[in-house]
Structure 1
Amino acid sequence: MTFISPSHLLLICVAAIWGFAFVAQSAGMDYLGPHSFNAARFLLGALSLVPLWFLMGKKRLPQGRTLILGGLAAGTIMFGGFSFQQIGLLYTTAGNAGFITGMYIVMVPIAGILLGQSTNLQTWSGVILAVLGLYSLSIGPDFEMAYGDLLELIGACFWTAHVIVIGWLSRKVDAIGLSICQFLVAAVWATIAALLYETPTLIDFQGAWLPLLYAGVASSGIACTLQIIGQRKVEPSVTALILSTEAIFAVIGGWLLLGETLGSKELLGCSLMLAGMLVSQWPSRKRPEMAAQG
């Protein structure tokens, strides 16, 4: 069996695109406020998925009230997650944001317990490692969490809720249609927030065109398409494992393009958090079922 197949490579590309998106988000705020940036990227994200939606054709699931209400719920949660993530980037590095956002991977099983789902020792081991890593990465000598990192952690809570909601909706509605709907809902919320708290100009949007293009099109339409293709022949647990490397690419991107560096304490924290993500998602001996494809 080939260890790294074309499908694996596609998913690695998805993780890299998402990781470098933290750099684009950080760079974009040299020109725009967080809500203005998000409003534009959400709209671009929705538009970039329209061609894929038409290409799916007859493979699309029937649409209806569930899609509208689900898109409203998912889009509202997405707005919350991206808002805290984007504002947090004003106070922390792209690398920190990437790793702390990735905490949702170990937070989802914990949230599942509240919903009556069971978990195992492997997951708990991953949670412990991730929490220790978060402490090393974000807690200072005065035992207070850095403000930007705290905002990213709150954002991770929103992403945890988003994963759970999407997991429930994905069995009932068309995935691409849901993505478009949630992006449009999030765009409306972000636009309202931008009008209330920010004063963007056309020149500001023109200055941020490249970060917006990357965050809106590459990180949404292109990455989503590659993920759908790549997941077809890769086990769900392995998919989650590969996509968790998004945090590593965020650090690499921050170092290469923004000149960000990590000290020994931060490197230890990132290493422990990555270990926690990998341990919690590592495939068990029993081969898991493949995800149903639409």
Structure 2
Amino acid sequence: MLTQRKADFIMIVAVLFWGLSYVLTRYGLFDLPVFNFMAIRMGLGFLIAALLCIKTFSKINKETIFAGAVIGLFLFLTLTGTNYGLLRTSISNTVFLVSLTAVFVPVFSTIVYRKLPEKKILIGTAGAAVGILLLTLTGISGFGIGDILCILAAAAYAIHILLSKKFVSSKKIDALNLGIVQLGFAALYAGICTFLFEEPVIPQDQTVWFAIFFLAIFSIAFGCVAQIVVQKYTSASHIGLIFALEPIFGAIFAFIVYGEILLPLQIIGAAFVFFSVIWIELNVNDLKKIKMKKKAV
């Protein structure tokens, strides 16, 4: 069984891959229409995850299928907003704005459950919000449709996180199967939109195929499934705040690959986000116990 800290660490690794995914997605979108690209990467991610977990996946039930159809829709909406946003704004702007999920989760959670998160979460969220504000306001020149789509994507993913937490709390739903099924439905929705709004295309470039397989394995099969599984062992607020690390990872990869440079205020904003997540993960009581033991020795 996972501890909360181990679950949070797995989420941090997943967010690292999601940060890298923006760079690779930009490659894919050079050659493929948005829905076409999404359908292929999500479809491959679904097949890979299902085959690797075939014993568990063969025991899927109707409750899990229904839940997968619901959260798969919000995953699809998140990727749609993110991918179209990438075509209309910079990688740095995209990851900064999509990371507003970290702010939306506690806000939506408070509205739905009519209960404020614990004080530590509120402080961390406020710090992350300040950081994202600095990252965003200094990184956007002319607020456009791409930026709006990214914010809508952040809201959709916040809803996805909250719904996932609710579904995995049910004894009838297996978290691993739910994580896999959502990928299949997201691929299905993207496939339908491909045939309705685009002309289906098979990638010809080897670089695009590399991007697709990397995204399918690490960003989709591992990242998206891991997020669902670990939510049994950590809170939605923790997941949302760890997600705030994504702009830092994304900005680093954007700098390495495309030479996008952070401004001084953006670096300060990144520091706010980073230390806000550290604050959430830091257990003050454990530190006090360690200090007391050292004094006793």
Taking structure 2 as the reference length, the TM-score comes to 0.77
1:113 match: 110
The residue number in structure 1 matching 2:129 is 131
Which residue does 1:262 correspond to in 2? 262
Bigger mean CA deviation after superposition, 35-44 or 8-17: 8-17
1:26 touches 1:89 (CA, 8 Å); kept in 2?
yes
Aligned twin of 1:245:
245
Aligned to 1:282: 281
Q: Aligned-pair distance for 1:143?
A: 9.7
Superposed counterparts of 1:1-294, under 5 Å: 13-54=13-54, 56=56, 63-115=60-112, 116-139=114-137, 145-172=143-170, 173-203=173-203, 208-223=208-223, 236=234, 240=239, 244-279=244-279, 281-285=280-284
- Bigger drift between 90-99 and 212-221 goes to 90-99
Larger CA deviation: 142-151 vs 243-252: 142-151
Aligned partners of 1:134 and 1:269 also within 8 Å: yes
RMSD: 3.6
Offset at 1:168?
0.9
Q: Distance in 1 between matches of 2:150 and 2:162?
A: 19
1:204-245: per-residue Cα shift (whole Å, max 9, x none)?
57662111111111212244677799x69xx73797466653
Q: CA deviation at 1:111?
A: 0.9
Q: How many residue pairs end up in the alignment? A: 277
Tell me, what secondary structure is at the counterpart of 1:208?
Answer: helix
Residue type matched to 2:271 in 1?
S
Mapped partners of 1:9, 1:127: distance in 2:
18
Change (3 A) 1:267 1:94: same
Quote the offset at 1:14 in angstroms.
3.2
- Structure 1 residues 274 and 8, CA gap change in structure 2 (3 angstroms): closer
Query: 1:77 offset after TM fit, Å?
Result: 0.8
1:276 CA drift (Å)? 4.4
How far is the alpha carbon of 1:46 from its aligned partner? 0.4
Gaps of 5+ in 1: 288-294
Where is the helix percentage greater, Structure 1 or Structure 2?
2
